[in-house]
């Protein structure tokens, strides 16, 4: 179901997963354009505990303010944002979330889209390259790669499901700032409130958790005493499409060494360092938006050239 909301910059979509959960997505429709090359749609996949609101600024920019406006879709995984919680926490896995994403793409007739994945979303994008490579027309990986740094993973495991519940939006803002300010060193007080409103949902005017606390059960099964599995095979499955990798300067999850190894393996990869930000870049500053927009415009033209060469 696509619920049109003209007072907003997006439409709301609800759909059912194969096991009957009601899931939620946003669609930011593109402004009409006279471009001769059709602009490829973008599908945004959020981080582990995050949701579609994380992409609001970049989605508005790409769909409404760009010289190459394009449709942008942003998903809430099961148990996040406005999607229903799953009674079986074991379904909070990248593979199940991949299946939900592919179902959405089928229902929305999304073909050859650019998959824009932050952290967990980038893992799903790499899995998609293996399971159904034909639906991927390009990839943007936001602070994620085939090698996940153990210290960053340990930090994430340490807070998921354990963050105190704020009594009001002032407390929510303080919690967001206390958790992230050492990684994001150029964020104003007003921006911290906006970030808190991305992280939390709202009920009766008050902040509530933006994800199912049972998500921590899935993370509890990770043994940090063992090496974190690497995903080079899955990453290699995306080397047939143009890719942009964003890395936060202060990231503790994606190292600069891993980014260089990714570039060595991928013939069509660009990478960009987001200064004064950590895991994962907020996708709000004009420099990053400009880089993303240029990459997508170039990828549209790259795809057209590749088809001409094949033909």
- Per the domain annotation, does 183 fall within a domain? no
Q: What is the pLDDT of residues 125-152, one digit of tens each?
A: 999 999 999 999 999 999 999 999 999 9
- Per the domain annotation, does 249 fall within a domain? yes
pLDDT at 141: 98
- CA-nearest of 146, 139, 88 to 117 is 139
- Per the domain annotation, does 253 fall within a domain? yes
Residues 258 and 248: their CA atoms lie apart, in Å, by 13
Cα distance from N-terminal residue to C-terminal residue, the chain: 38
Q: How confident is the model at residue 302 (pLDDT cuts 50, 70, 90)?
A: confident
Residues 296 and 302: their CA atoms lie apart, in Å, by 10
- Per the domain annotation, does 201 fall within a domain? no
- Per the domain annotation, does 170 fall within a domain? no
Question: Which pair of structure tokens corresponds to residue 204?
Answer: 């009766």
- Per the domain annotation, does 190 fall within a domain? no
The answer, yes or no, to whether residue 123 has pLDDT greater than 90, is yes
Q: How confident is the model at residue 38 (pLDDT cuts 50, 70, 90)?
A: confident
Q: What is the pLDDT of residues 57-100, one digit of tens each?
A: 999 999 999 999 999 999 999 999 999 999 999 999 999 999 99
- Per the domain annotation, does 140 fall within a domain? yes
pLDDT at 309: 44
Q: What is the CB neighbour count within 10 angstroms for residue 84?
A: 17
pLDDT at 7: 57
Mean pLDDT of 157-186: 94
- Per the domain annotation, does 281 fall within a domain? yes
Residues 219 and 242: their CA atoms lie apart, in Å, by 31
Q: Which domain holds residue 115?
A: 2-149+230-310
**Domain count of the fold of the chain:** 1
- Paired sense of beta strands 269-274 and 201-203, if any: unpaired
CATH assignment of the domain containing 104:
3.40.50.1820
Residues 167 and 165: their CA atoms lie apart, in Å, by 7
Mean pLDDT of 160-180: 94
């Amino acid at each position: 179901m696509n619920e049109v909301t003209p007072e907003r910059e997006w439409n709301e979509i609800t759909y059912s997963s194969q096991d009957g959960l009601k899931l939620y997505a946003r669609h930011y429709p593109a402004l009409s354009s006279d471009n001769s090359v059709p602009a490829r749609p973008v599908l945004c996949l959020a981080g582990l505990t995050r949701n579609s609101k994380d992409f609001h600024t970049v989605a508005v920019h790409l769909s409404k303010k760009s010289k190459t406006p394009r449709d942008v879709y942003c998903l809430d995984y099961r148990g996040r944002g406005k999607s229903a919680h799953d009674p079986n926490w074991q379904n909070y896995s990248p593979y199940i979330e991949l299946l939900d994403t592919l179902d959405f793409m089928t229902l929305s007739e999304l073909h050859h889209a650019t998959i824009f994945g932050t952290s967990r979303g980038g893992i799903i994008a790499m899995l998609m390259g293996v399971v159904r490579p034909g639906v991927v027309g390009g990839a943007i990986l936001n602070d994620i790669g085939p090698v996940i740094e153990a210290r960053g993973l340990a930090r994430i495991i340490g807070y998921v499901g354990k963050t105190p519940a704020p009594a009001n939006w002032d407390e929510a803002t303080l919690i967001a700032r206390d958790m992230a300010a050492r990684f994001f060193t150029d964020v104003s007080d007003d921006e911290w409130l906006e970030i808190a409103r991305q992280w939390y949902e709202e009920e009766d005017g008050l902040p509530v958790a933006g994800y199912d606390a049972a998500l921590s059960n899935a993370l509890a099964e990770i043994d940090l005493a063992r090496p974190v599995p690497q995903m080079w095979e899955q990453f290699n499955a995306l080397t047939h499409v143009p890719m942009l990798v964003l890395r936060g300067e202060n990231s503790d999850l994606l190292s600069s060494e891993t980014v260089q190894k990714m570039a060595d393996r991928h013939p069509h990869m660009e990478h960009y360092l987001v200064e004064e930000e950590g895991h994962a870049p907020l996708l709000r500053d004009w420099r990053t938006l400009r880089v993303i927009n240029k990459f997508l415009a170039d990828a549209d033209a790259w795809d057209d050239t590749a088809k001409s060469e094949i033909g």
